[in-house]
Amino acid sequence: MRSYQEMTKEELQQEKKALEAEYKKFQNRGLQLDMSRGKPSQEQLDLSMGMMDVLGSGVDLTCDDGTDCRNYGVLDGIYEAKELIGDMIECNPANIIIYGNSSLNIMYDTISRSMTHGVMGNTPWCKLDSVKFLCPVPGYDRHFAITEYFGIEMIPVPMLSTGPDMELVEQLVSTDEAIKGIWCVPKYSNPQGITYSDETVRRFARLKPAAKDFRIYWDNAYCVHHLYDLDQDHLIEILAECKRAGNPDLVYKFCSTSKISFPGSGVSAIATSLNNLEDIRKQLKIQTIGHDKVNQLRHVRFFKNVHGITEHMRRHADSMRPKFEMILDTFERELGDLAVGSWYKPKGGYFITYETLEGCAKKVVARAKKAGVVMTPAGAPFPYGKDPKDSVIRISPSYPNMEELTLATQIFVVCVKLVSIEKMLDGVC
């Protein structure tokens, strides 16, 4: 197939007519499809139903150390859960605090605490004139929502195929004391599916921030969310690398089982240096008596150990892989030659990002919506919802079943083609 750029105006007009007819047909079906959020499918949720059976009225809810999980106590999580999560994210259990059901909530609390009480004895951010965060873009909208909520100025940093543009990160972080953090989804990033290269992680660990209270917010949300058993991305463990680099306190690492067991009913955790943990515990002991230990135990008893998680995630992959492959194959087949956009081919995570011609993303999303396909709003993966090129569209393959997803992908492709042609014909999109 020839690219649209190579076609004549007449050919484009003809193509457009055919696409409009196709689009109309989809529209007339009154579809309701959703590719907007990274929600597991029912099939994936069913994989964890065994978790509802591991505890029962006849089961002893006591930890190895004698803790009765049913009662108050144990501020930072039962040891068994720390060990399980530690193995999952390659950290020492001693560096881990287990929280409630949401790693987003930990991140929020971390920022909130920094606002009111500062980081390890430094000035509370609410007392500073200016607080800034670096935001690799495209990134995760809920991260940006937290920093925006607290009035933190967000500075976009472009994502490269190796992770954030580290030259820019190094330059900004080393010169501006107002920069207090950077949001990272280092593995199978949201939304592009990029894993930070070894060099990127090493450069992160070697940052020399102007601000003593600068921290890397390392949201390792997709740490075990591979699509393939052997062909997996590898991410260097950042805590260990920071320790080796003489920067042990530089990073907060977050994770959860939201997309492993049940979203909203899993466990989440932070892993960080002992100094940071001490700082966090000062607040945590005021905030709560402890998180849900019964649910921690439920996870431990269900997965048993990290091998259990690996096997479990293999079954998740069996559900996700065909969806990713179908979308990527469709893109390749339908859009590969047209020169109307680009995408990465993630080996894991929850998202595929389609990058349209400049100025087309909003129109594609709007067109898709009118044909019954809900997408993440264009712009969402950027601070303040503003994509300067209006070209990034996040696609979430997980939730719909294959039939729905196939249909949604076909509709999406038609929308991309149509909007691209319109841009070419009009000169401006």
Query: Site residues (CB under 8 A) for a copy of itself?
Result: 37, 39-40, 42, 45, 48-50, 52-53, 55-57, 59, 61, 68-73, 100-102, 104-105, 108-109, 112, 115-117, 124, 126-127, 142, 145-146, 149-150, 258, 262-265, 283, 286-295
Which of 395/411 has CB closer to a copy of itself? 395
Residue 206: Cβ-neighbour burial (10 angstroms; 0-12, 13-18, 19+): middle
For the bound state, the minimum distance from the C-beta of residue 113 to a copy of itself, rounded and expressed in Å, comes to: 8
For the bound state, the minimum distance from the C-beta of residue 382 to a copy of itself, rounded and expressed in Å, comes to: 17
Q: Which two tokens stand for residue 59?
A: 């089961």
Which of 4/303 has CB closer to a copy of itself? 303
Nearest to 418 by CA among 7, 22, 9: 22
For the bound state, the minimum distance from the C-beta of residue 402 to a copy of itself, rounded and expressed in Å, comes to: 18
For the bound state, the minimum distance from the C-beta of residue 310 to a copy of itself, rounded and expressed in Å, comes to: 21
* Strands of the sheet with 392-395, listed across from one edge: 341-343, 352-356, 392-395
- Contact between 197 and 149 under an 8 Å Cβ cutoff? The reply is no
Q: What is the DSSP letter of 5?
A: G
For the bound state, the minimum distance from the C-beta of residue 216 to a copy of itself, rounded and expressed in Å, comes to: 21
CA distances from 242 to 185, 208, 249 (A): 17, 11, 8
Q: What is the DSSP letter of 29?
A: T
For the bound state, the minimum distance from the C-beta of residue 13 to a copy of itself, rounded and expressed in Å, comes to: 43
For the bound state, the minimum distance from the C-beta of residue 393 to a copy of itself, rounded and expressed in Å, comes to: 21
The distance of Cα 361 from the centroid of its chain, to the nearest Å, equals: 20
For the bound state, the minimum distance from the C-beta of residue 150 to a copy of itself, rounded and expressed in Å, comes to: 7
Which of 302/344 has CB closer to a copy of itself? 302
Task: Give one DSSP letter per residue of 310-358, joined into a string.
Answer: HHHHHHHHHHHHHHHHHHHHHHHHHHTTTTSEEE---SBSS-EEEEEST
Which CB contacts under 8 angstroms, 24+ apart, belong to 237-242? 237/89, 237/90, 237/91, 238/186, 238/201, 238/204, 238/205, 239/91, 239/95, 239/271, 239/272, 239/273, 240/90, 241/201, 241/202, 241/204, 241/205, 242/204, 242/205, 242/273
Which of 109/334 has CB closer to a copy of itself? 109
**Omega before residue 377 within 30° of 0, cis:** no
Rounded CA separation 341/335 (Å)? 8
Which of 291/363 has CB closer to a copy of itself? 291
Which of 69/173 has CB closer to a copy of itself? 69
Which of 116/275 has CB closer to a copy of itself? 116
Which of 55/120 has CB closer to a copy of itself? 55
For the bound state, the minimum distance from the C-beta of residue 73 to a copy of itself, rounded and expressed in Å, comes to: 8
Which of 70/314 has CB closer to a copy of itself? 70
